[in-house]
Chains A and B, each alone.
Chain A
Amino acid sequence: SYVLTQPPSLSVAPGQTARITCGGDNIGRKSVHWYQQKPGQAPILVMYVDNDRPSGIPERFSGSNSGTTATLTISSVAAGDEADYFCQVWILNPYDVVFGGGTRLTVL
C-alpha cells in the first residue's frame, strides 16, 4: 500500500518559516492536497493540487511537489497557525485516498 510520511512534529518561532514535508514514492507525479486541523475543529483545505490556495487562505501558505517530497511552506508563522497538518493523495489502483500521518506544528 502507498505510504505518505510526515514528521510527527515541527516547532517554529513566530515570524519564521515552517516547512512541512510529505514523503512518498514518486509523489511528484501525484496531486497533493493539504489540510489544517486545529483542536476541536474540522479540517480545512489550505492547499490543493500541489500549490493552489483556496480563497481565504493567506498568501503566506505555499506548496511545492517534486520527486519524492511534497512541501507545505508557511512563512511568517503566527500563533494562529498552530495545528495538525495532513497531506493527501489519491491512489488509483486500488482506488483509495491516502493521508499522511500528520505533523503537529507548534509555534514557540
Chain B
Amino acid sequence: QVQLQESGPGLVKPSETLSLTCAVYGDSIGSENWWTWVRRPPGKGLEWIGEIYHTGSTNYSPSLKSRVTFSVDKSKKQFSLNLRSVTAADTAIYYCAREVGAYGGSQIDLWGQGTLVTVSS
C-alpha cells in the first residue's frame, strides 16, 4: 500500500524558510508520476504549490514561484519543499501528494495526511 508522510517543523518565524519533506512508502519515486505539494490555509480552499519529477524537473505555481524550491532524493525516496521569506499568510496545512494521468491534466490520486505549519514569532 502506497503512503506519503510529511515531516518538518510545525512553527516557523516570519521571514524565515519553511522546509518540509515527504517520504514515499510502497511506491517508486522514480515511477512515471509527478509529485506535488498542496496547501490549505485555515478557513480557505486548496492551493497548488507545484510539482516535481524524479529527474528533478519542476513546475511551480506562478504565485509562489519566486519563493519556492523543490528537490528530490531518490535514494531516500523522498522529496522536499522550501518556501522562503514566509509570512502569516503562509500558515496552512501542507500536503504532499502524487499526480497521475496525462501531463498538464493529471489528477491527484494519493495524499499525505498533511502537516500544519504556523508562521509566527
Contacts and interface: CB of A to CB of B under 8 A. Distances in A.
A86 B45 contact: yes
A29 B62 CA distance: 22
A98 B105 CA distance: 11
Interface residues of B, number: 22
A80 interface: no
24 contacts: A31-B102, A31-B105, A33-B107, A35-B108, A37-B40, A37-B46, A42-B95, A43-B38, A43-B108, A43-B111, A44-B111, A45-B107, A45-B108, A49-B105, A54-B109, A86-B46, A88-B107, A90-B104, A90-B106, A92-B104, A96-B48, A96-B61, A99-B46, A101-B45
A35 B109 contact: no
Interface string B97-121: 0000110111111011110000000
Interface residues of A, number: 25
Interface of A: 31, 33, 35, 37, 42-45, 48-49, 54, 84, 86, 88, 90, 92, 94-102
Interface of B: 38, 40, 45-48, 59, 61-62, 95, 101-102, 104-109, 111-114
Contacts of A97: 48, 61
A72 B107 CA distance: 15
- What is the interface of chain B mostly: helix, strand, loop, or mixed? loop
A102 B46 contact: yes
From B61, B102, B107, B111, residue with most partner A Cβ within 10 Å = B107
Contacts of A99: 45-48
A102 B83 CA distance: 25
Contacts of B45: 84, 86, 99-102
